[in-house]
Amino acid sequence: MDLLELIIEYHKDNERQGPGSEEATLKALGYLPYLNEKIKILDVGCGTGGQTITLAKNTGAQITAVDMFPQFLEMLMKKSKVNNLTNRIVAKEMLMESLTFKESSFDVIWSEGAIYNIGFEKGLSLWRKYLKDNGYIAVSEISWLTDTRPDEIVQYWVNAYPEIDTIENKLSVINKCGYTSVAHFVLDDKCWLDNYYQPILERSEAFMKKYDYTDEVKEFVEAGKIEADMYNRFKDYYSYVFYIAKKPVT
Ligand code: SAM
Share of the chain above pLDDT 90, in %: 94
Does a structural domain hold residue 151? Answer: no
Q: Is residue 227 part of a domain?
A: no
Q: Quick one: what percent of the chain has pLDDT higher than 70?
A: 99
**Closest-lying ligand 1 atom to the alpha carbon of residue 16:** 5
Is 183 inside any structural domain? yes
Measured from the CB, is residue 68 less than 6 Å from ligand 1?
yes
User: Is the predicted pLDDT of residue 36 greater than 80, yes or no?
Assistant: no
Answer whether residue 73 is part of any domain: yes
Instruction: Write out the DSSP string of the chain.
Output: --HHHHHHHHHTTSS-SSS--HHHHHHHHTTSS-TTS--EEEEET-TT-HHHHHHHHTS--EEEEEES-HHHHHHHHHHHHHTT-TTTEEEEE--TTS--PPTT-EEEEEESS-GGGT-HHHHHHHHGGGEEEEEEEEEEEEEESSS---HHHHHHHHHH-TT-EEHHHHHHHHHHTT-EEEEEEE--HHHHIIIIIHHHHHTHHHHHHHTTT-HHHHHHHHHHHHHHHHHHHHTTTEEEEEEEEE----
pLDDT at position 242 is 98
Segment 3-7 mean pLDDT: 89
* Å from CA of 18 to ligand 1 middle: 8
**Is pLDDT at 250 greater than 80 in this prediction?**
no
Residue 195 within a domain: no
Q: What sign results for the dihedral spanned by CA atoms 190, 86, 82, 8?
A: negative
Nearest atom in ligand 1 to 117's CA: 20
Q: What is the pLDDT of residue 120?
A: 98
Nearest to 25, CA basis, from 57, 3, 62, 61: 57
Say if ligand 1 is within 6 A of residue 19 CB: no
CA of 164 to the centre of ligand 1 (A): 17
Q: Does residue 134 lie within any of the structural domains? A: yes
Average pLDDT on 30-45 reads 89
| Domain extent at residue 176 | 16-146+161-188+239-246
Q: Answer whether residue 2 is part of any domain.
A: no
Q: How many A from CA of 97 to the centre of ligand 1?
A: 12
Structure confidence at residue 3 (pLDDT): 86
Give yes or no for residue 113 CB within 6 A of ligand 1. yes
Q: Is 65 in the pocket of ligand 1 (CB under 6 A)?
A: no
Give residue-wise pLDDT tens across range 47-96: 999 999 999 999 999 999 999 999 999 999 999 999 999 999 999 999 99
ipTM > 0.90 (yes/no)? yes
Q: Say whether pLDDT at 35 is over 70.
A: no
Nearest Cα to Cα of residue 244 among 66, 112, 104: 112
Q: At 50, which CATH number?
A: 3.40.50.150
The tally of domains found in the chain comes to 1
Residue 189 Cα to ligand 1 midpoint, Å, equals 21
Select from 68, 98, 112 the residue to mutate for testing ligand 1; criterion: most ligand atoms less than 8 Å from CB: 68
Question: What pLDDT, in 10s, does the model give residues 205-239?
Answer: 999 999 999 999 999 999 999 999 999 999 999 99
The more confident residue out of 141 and 250 is 141
Pairing status of strand 106-111 against strand 131-144:
parallel
Work out which ligand 1 atom sits closest to the CA atom of 46: 1
Q: What distance in angstroms lies between residue 250's CA and the mean position of ligand 1's atoms? A: 30
> Using CA positions, which residue lies closest to atom 20 of ligand 1?
117
Mean pLDDT over the full length of the chain: 96
* pLDDT (tens digit per residue) in 99-151: 999 999 999 999 999 999 999 999 999 999 999 999 999 999 999 999 999 99
Within a domain: 232 = no
